[in-house]
Chains A and B, each alone.
Chain A
Amino acid sequence: MEEKQLYTVSIYTENTIGLLNRISAIFQRRHINVESLNTSVSEIEGVSRFTIVVKVTQEQIKKIIGQIEKQVEVIKAYYHRDEDIIYQESCIFKIKSDLLFEERDIQNIIKESNARIVTVNKKFFVLEKSGRRAEVELLHRELSAFGIMQFVRSGRIAVSKEPMEISKMLAAFNAN
């Protein structure tokens, strides 16, 4: 059988209640676990954008895209391999403030990882890091040794290297 790999699915949609359910049902029905999911506005006003990461075969992803595009409120869906996109994840750490001052290593880790201190108060400081999964995970591992009060990571967001010609499609519809 063909090997599974990570695919990043980008879906342009109308902004309607229930569409998230409709799209997630497509994965659920095929017993596919979603690695990450992000929804946001897109470059076009009034058009939403889903970014979903799944680990499947190429044959599966093609069929899934077909099923997603079939949904009435989906304008267009694309899938990409990692090499075809620029992608990022973002994470936030909440750590005891004492550690920032007492542990020299923490300061070095922050510097070397290009993480950003968002806020510091007497009790805790908040660290933000954006990057690829491996970078985020490395930082998490390094900071874990000192104790992390809270950690959260966002879903992947990605833009494709090649254009996704969604604006043209909408223009064509408006012209008709």
Chain B
Amino acid sequence: MKTERISGSEAIIKCLLAEGVDILYGYPGGAIMPVYDELYKYQDKIHHVLTRHEQGATHAAQGYARISGKVGVAMATSGPGATNLITGIADAQIDSTPMVCITGQVPSHLLGSDAFQETDIVGISTPVTKWNHQVTKASEIPEVMAKAFYIAKSGRPGPVLIDITKDAQFEELDFKYEKCKGVRSYKPVPDTDIESVKEAAELINNAKKPMIVWGQGVVLSEAEKELIEVIEKAEIPSAWTILGASAVPTSHPLNIGMVGMHGNYAPNILTNECDVLIAIGMRFDDRVTGSLNTYAKQAKVIHFEIDPAEVDKNVKTDVAVLGDAKASLKELLPLLNANSHPEWLQRFKDLYKIEFDKVINKDINPTKEGLTMGEVLKEINIQSKGEAAIVSDVGQHQMIACRYAEFNTTKSNITSGGLGTMGFALPAAIGAKMAAPNREVVAIIGDGGYQMTIQELGTIFQQRVPVKIVVLNNEFLGMVRQWQQLFFDKRYASTEMVNPDFVAIAKGYHIEAQKVTKRDDLKTAVKEMIDFDGPYFLEVCVEKEDNVFPMIPSGASVSDIRLE
């Protein structure tokens, strides 16, 4: 292969182009300036989005990755620029999001001298990255960048940070780029033992009361079709974790809803009644399982999993099927008997009826005076015809969004699951919309989280990103307030918010905005928002002290789920 003599910083851009990167998010500064200078020259080929804070760049890259399945890219300078990336990196690590972060670093001869804006970002980011590396010589750049993209995307995806000293950006190298095909110490996908698939099939075929819980692994391996075939052939009621949402359409009759702390009543209760529990691409997070001592003890557990370290980590499995979900489910399908479980399915329907009467109906068809978050979601479902990608933040509104959003299309639920990062949604929605410009992207955010990254309105304005922003304003940090009400005798310590005029702020950024306080105005307002060609901000003032139910109190059993 021919080489060309170019600078390290130009090499970085050429690596990004070779990896198919068309958009990246970042913030310039001293130690990354040579790269920005090249970005200026290459601006017709690669679009750099200036966020208003480096954390916003990471969340935007995450939103981009989650909706597209591609690697999101964020860039920052050394020191504070780099440390500001950490929350997004930690979020991407725990939610298995493919992301490459590039940071500038002080020149190599100044490393360790406490130079201006020097920080040990490789050390700091080590526990929250899948891999990280510091480059001090330009000649290392092509190989390291290729490895970064390969590691971020392959196997169980995750964030990679590459720290590049300023002298390496200036230095010249003989550039040629080869994509990484493998790393000898790293096996991204473990071999699938066909015997384990046969054992799984036998357990499923003999099950009277099988139940599937799938997670994001299905979305990441693009195994949605295979999953639906398995579900339908064996007629298995199937629930999802928060990050698994939208892999199977909401309307599918065997989609029985969300598991976990604020999940649906039936799948939580019946987790402790099923005879075979089939976990696919999920990791038995504590928000899913409640107390492990009382979780599915009666069931045989099958775990389809790509990451060997997840097997038996939280829940002991009877059969572990290692490997990629798509490949494993393909192997499983022909081994399954066509089956039906009408009585077992009826149990889910009966419990759904109870949940509908006690919770859902009141949430989405309220008769009391104040607006509910649930009815806002219902209206968004209607107006967007279930085609919107919902980007939610963290808290009550997030649980309501995940419970009530209707999904027809996969990769439509983008939220911070594992880390629970308030401030995620607004920048993530930017990334999602830019990666999928033809999709309707609706950010649903609480008044608390919104103010953690509200400055990204500037990015939306400057880039004219036509996202729809819905703030469900209850003038409280609602989820914390709910816990204070239920478990701390209503001592509302520092959870009440005195909020600014959100509409005025949006308008300050020249973003069309409107505020709704009455039920009668909701429908029209949501319609105007969805129909609007451009970014739009909608504030909905909801009941201040509504609670999210059902709820599994922290540390309780999934079958002790409360409806009120």
A residues in contact (CB < 8 Å) with B: 13-14, 16-18, 21-22, 25, 29, 62-63, 66-67, 69-70, 72-75, 170, 173-174, 176
Q: How large is the interface on B (under 10, 10 to 19, 20 to 34, 35 or more residues)?
A: 20 to 34
8 A-B pairs with C-beta separation under 8 A: A13-B185, A14-B185, A18-B123, A18-B134, A25-B127, A66-B311, A70-B309, A72-B131
Task: Tell me the minimal C-beta distance from B16 to chain A in angstroms.
Answer: 21
Q: Evaluate whether A66 and B313 lie within 8 angstroms (CB atoms) in the complex, with A22-B126, A75-B184 already known.
A: yes
Could you mark each residue 180-218 of chain B with 1 if its beta carbon is under 8 Å from any beta carbon of chain A, else 0?
001111100000000000000000000000000000000
Q: Evaluate whether A18 and B126 lie within 8 angstroms (CB atoms) in the complex, with A63-B309, A66-B309 already known.
A: yes
Task: Tell me the minimal C-beta distance from A165 to chain B in angstroms.
Answer: 15
Interface SS of chain A: helix, strand, loop or mixed?
Answer: helix
- Check: B543 CB closer than 8 A to any chain A CB: no
The one of A18, A22, A69, A173 in contact with B309, judged by C-beta atoms closer than 8 angstroms, is A69
B residues in contact (CB < 8 Å) with A: 122-123, 126-127, 130-134, 151, 182-186, 307-309, 311-313
Tell me, in angstroms, the Cα distance from A176 to B133 when the chains sit together. 25
Chain A residues lying within 8 Å of B134, measured Cβ to Cβ, are: 17-18
Tell me, in angstroms, the Cα distance from A4 to B300 when the chains sit together. 29
Task: Tell me the minimal C-beta distance from A66 to chain B in angstroms.
Answer: 3
Q: Evaluate whether A176 and B182 lie within 8 angstroms (CB atoms) in the complex, with A25-B126, A72-B130, A72-B131 already known.
A: yes
Task: Tell me the minimal C-beta distance from B108 to chain A in angstroms.
Answer: 13
Q: Evaluate whether A72 and B123 lie within 8 angstroms (CB atoms) in the complex, with A18-B132, A66-B308 already known.
A: no
Chain A residues lying within 8 Å of B184, measured Cβ to Cβ, are: 14, 75, 170, 173-174
Task: Tell me the minimal C-beta distance from B304 to chain A in angstroms.
Answer: 17
Q: Are B313 and A21 in contact (CB under 8 A)?
A: no
Tell me, in angstroms, the Cα distance from A46 to B126 when the chains sit together. 23
Chain B residues lying within 8 Å of A174, measured Cβ to Cβ, are: 184
Closest to B122 in A: A18
Closest to B131 in A: A72
Q: Which 3 A-B pairs have the closest CB atoms?
A: A66-B309, A173-B184, A75-B185
Closest to A19 in B: B126
| Most chain A beta carbons < 10 A, residue from B151, B184, B312 | B184
Q: Evaluate whether A69 and B131 lie within 8 angstroms (CB atoms) in the complex, with A18-B126, A74-B185, A75-B185 already known.
A: no
Task: Tell me the minimal C-beta distance from A78 to chain B in angstroms.
Answer: 14
Closest to B311 in A: A66
Tell me, in angstroms, the Cα distance from A67 to B134 when the chains sit together. 22
Chain A residues lying within 8 Å of B182, measured Cβ to Cβ, are: 173, 176
Task: Tell me the minimal C-beta distance from A134 to chain B in angstroms.
Answer: 35
Q: Are A73 and B185 in contact (CB under 8 A)?
A: yes
Q: Beyond the given A66-B309, A72-B130, A170-B184, could you list 7 further A-B residue pairs with CB under 8 A, ordered by the A residue number? A: A14-B185, A25-B126, A29-B127, A63-B312, A69-B309, A173-B182, A173-B184
Closest to A74 in B: B185
| Most chain A beta carbons < 10 A, residue from B126, B133, B182, B312 | B126
Chain A residues lying within 8 Å of B311, measured Cβ to Cβ, are: 66
Tell me, in angstroms, the Cα distance from A14 to B151 when the chains sit together. 16
Q: Are A70 and B307 in contact (CB under 8 A)?
A: yes
Q: Are B308 and A21 in contact (CB under 8 A)?
A: no
Tell me, in angstroms, the Cα distance from A29 to B128 when the chains sit together. 11
